[in-house]
Amino acid sequence: MLLHIKNMVCDRCIMVVKQQIDNHNFLISDISLGEVQFHPEPNEAQMQQIASSLKILGFEIIDKERDRLVEKIKNTVIKLIHHSDLTDVHQTLSSMLAESLQMEYSYLSRIFSDHEDVTIEKFIIQQKIAKVKELLQYGELNMNEIANVMGYSSNAHLSNQFKSITGLTPSEYKSINKSDRKPLDKI
């Protein structure tokens, strides 16, 4: 059975979901962000138990196809921004997203906007700024290096976008050491 799960955004989420499915004595054949393939097929009572144990941990089973697609879009964006090196990327994130999901970007954009009340572009920017905040807090890279790692054309472009989202310049954010980072599934 293939189960689609909302709010799986990192490797720890995969580990937690795997543990929950294992606790119900099902064998997992494949697990990735947002999806788990396991057998045997659970009956309705078992399915409710799985759903309940996942819900306690902040996950939800996704039944509707449209909801699944939106979650795939989110997971793909998160994977591209938070788990990839954007330094030498010669494609836009929108084309990488369309290629990864093998669908037209305009279709993905329309479905996402209708469902989330925010465009994919804004969601991508929010995710990029969340990653920039993380990098600023680590203090290991300067602004030019962060701009490069995050795929920005310049430090100025990153700074302008950062200020438009947070109300602070990256320098102001770093100097007040504001720790207002949100979990990825809350952005």
**Tens-digit pLDDT profile for residues 33-44:** 899 998 888 899
Phi-psi region of 115 (alpha: psi -120 to 50; beta: other; left: phi over 0): alpha
Q: How many structural domains does the chain have? A: 2
Q: Cα–Cα distance between 160 and 157 in angstroms, integer?
A: 5
Q: Which of 111, 113, 110 has the alpha carbon at shortest distance from 123? A: 113
Query: Residue 21 sits in which domain range?
Result: 2-63
Residues 88, 161, single domain; the answer is yes
Residues 7, 36, single domain; the answer is yes
What is the reported pTM?
A: 0.79
Residues 114, 141, single domain; the answer is yes
Q: Is the peptide bond before 40 cis (omega within 30 degrees of 0)?
A: yes
Query: So what's the pLDDT on residue 91?
Result: 77
Residues 77, 53, single domain; the answer is no
Q: Which residues of the chain have pLDDT under 70?
A: 86-90, 178-187
Of 20, 44, 63, at which residue does a domain stop? 63
Compute the chain's Rg from CA coordinates: 18
